[in-house]
């Protein structure tokens, strides 16, 4: 085997996939339209919502289904409507299909259902580093730091779901993040800021954070990241962002409310992909 290209002066690791035959079938299934639309979908909105005004005709699931086709195949809204109409006709159903204007309006406030499958143990949250599923989503602008949204992200998970480890970057080195992690009984793996000072011992998470500061001082950041398992976060985040960008480098929606729904739908697609099967990849010797 020829020498791998170098990365930062070190040989770049090479990997091989051990289940190509099974994974090839998974890649084919990702294009199977029956994965994305099914007669089991609750297409029509429930009656008696209790809200004023004209009741909705279509359920959130129906809106999400059509918008999923739009995002997955990178279609304009009219084409997504046309694809949904043709699929419903081929299925022998007489369901109406949301018009483009309805899709655009409902996307602003759509509650996207992001599917996931229980991993059977405590979560390691970046994305879920074991299953590679996205479990919580939040969009921010330049006015909000990453650390500010962690409590809201954790609130999207069921209160009884066990979280083992939460990994974040230096922006999450805040008292609020340590407090939110402690509230959920999770360990926090976050590199202290480079100019970080020890916290007073009565602060939540101070003992763990101060230990990290001491370890980094003696071992250096590179060794601390390997010792703490921080590199697992980097690999998971890199894999997730790479897959997300395959659904398009840019968002097609222009206003923030619609962009939120579009990002959430992309995450729902990624989780569906993962549920179909994942490659079994190992490092080459």
Q: Tens digits of per-residue pLDDT, 161-179? A: 899 988 888 888 889 999 9
Neighbours of 48 (CB within 10 A): 6
Q: Tens digits of per-residue pLDDT, 33-53? A: 877 777 778 899 987 555 666
Q: Tens digits of per-residue pLDDT, 184-223? A: 999 888 888 888 889 988 888 889 999 999 999 888 998 8
In the prediction, which pLDDT does 3 show? 43
Prediction pTM value: 0.76
Which residues are CB-contacts of 191 (< 8 A; sequence separation ≥ 6)? 169, 170, 173, 212, 216, 221, 224, 225, 230
CA distance 185 to 51: 38
Quote the Cα angle for 64-68-74, to 5°.
145
What is the pLDDT confidence band of residue 1, given thresholds at 50, 70 and 90? very low
Burial of 277 per CB tally in 10 Å (0-12, 13-18, 19+): middle
CA distance 41 to 46: 13
Domain residue limits, the chain: 14-111+250-285, 123-245
- Asked if residues 138 and 155 have their Cβ atoms less than 8 Å apart, the reply is no
């Amino acid at each position: 085997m020829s020498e791998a290209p170098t990365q930062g002066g070190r040989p770049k690791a090479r990997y091989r996939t051990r289940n190509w035959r099974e994974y090839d079938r998974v890649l084919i299934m990702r294009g199977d339209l029956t994965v994305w639309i099914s007669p089991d979908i609750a297409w029509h909105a429930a009656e008696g919502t209790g809200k004023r005004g004209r009741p909705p005709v279509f359920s959130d699931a129906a809106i999400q289904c059509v918008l999923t086709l739009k995002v997955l195949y990178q279609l304009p809204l009219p084409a997504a409507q046309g694809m949904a109409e043709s699929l419903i006709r081929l299925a022998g159903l007489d369901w109406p299909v949301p018009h483009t204007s309805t899709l655009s309006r409902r996307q602003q406030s759509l509650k996207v259902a992001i599917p996931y499958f229980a991993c059977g143990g405590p979560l390691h949250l970046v994305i879920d580093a074991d299953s590679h599923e996205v479990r919580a989503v939040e969009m921010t602008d330049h006015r909000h730091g990453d650390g500010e949204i962690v409590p809201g992200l954790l609130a999207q998970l069921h209160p009884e779901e066990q979280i083992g480890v939460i990994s974040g970057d230096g922006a999450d080195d805040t008292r609020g993040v340590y407090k939110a992690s402690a509230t959920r009984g999770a360990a926090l793996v976050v590199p202290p800021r480079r100019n970080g000072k020890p916290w007073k011992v009565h602060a939540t998470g101070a003992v763990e954070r101060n230990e990290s500061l001491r370890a980094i001082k003696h071992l250096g950041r590179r060794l601390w990241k390997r010792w703490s398992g921080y590199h697992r976060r980097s690999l998971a985040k890199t894999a997730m962002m790479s897959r997300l960008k395959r659904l398009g480098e840019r968002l097609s929606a222009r206003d923030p409310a619609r962009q939120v729904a579009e990002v959430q739908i992309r995450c729902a697609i990624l989780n569906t992909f993962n549920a179909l099967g994942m490659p079994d990849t190992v490092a080459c010797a």
